[in-house]
Amino acid sequence: MKVQDIMTADVVCIRDGASIKDAHQLMQSRGVRHLPVISEVDGTLVGLLTHKKMVATVIGLLNRYGSGALERRERYTPLAELMETDFTPLTSTTPLTEVVDYFVGNKLGCLPVIDSNRKVLGIITSSDFVKLCAQLLKHA
């Protein structure tokens, strides 16, 4: 099996010029926990924002500045300050046997899937592997 067999193709992305507030609202309104960050210039993948990192950042801002200043701080804090950049994006044809080792040994719960021009095609999450495991167990 390959990444394309279990990835989510209808992925929600955010532009790199956005603020933490923009990302927070997008995650809430679309019900997603991971956002590939794309360049405003050419739409290529430049980073990844995870729910875990978002929550940690918002709690840090809340503790440091208080609830009265939280919205303003979120609005003026650029995504670049908290997006992950240290990861290897996948291609749709990457074998799942290679990807599963990554999820077992690393902290990120997702990886973006890109084409040869670094345009986002989809996303694969640890939940996708759980769903695959459930399907395989039902048919075993």
The structural domains of the chain, with segments of one domain joined by +, span 3-138
Strand extents, DSSP E, 39-86: 45-50
Residue 104's pLDDT is 81
pTM of the model: 0.89
pLDDT tens-digit series, residues 41-91: 999 999 999 988 888 988 988 898 888 888 888 899 899 889 999 888 999
Helix (H) or strand (E) holding 59: helix 51-65
Which pLDDT score is estimated for 118?
Answer: 96
The arrangement of secondary structure in 3-138, i.e. its CATH architecture, is: Roll (3.10)
Residue 85, C-beta contacts closer than 8 angstroms, at least 6 positions apart: 46, 47, 48
- Give the whole-number percent of the chain exceeding pLDDT 90: 52
Tell which wins on pLDDT, 108 or 117. Answer: 117
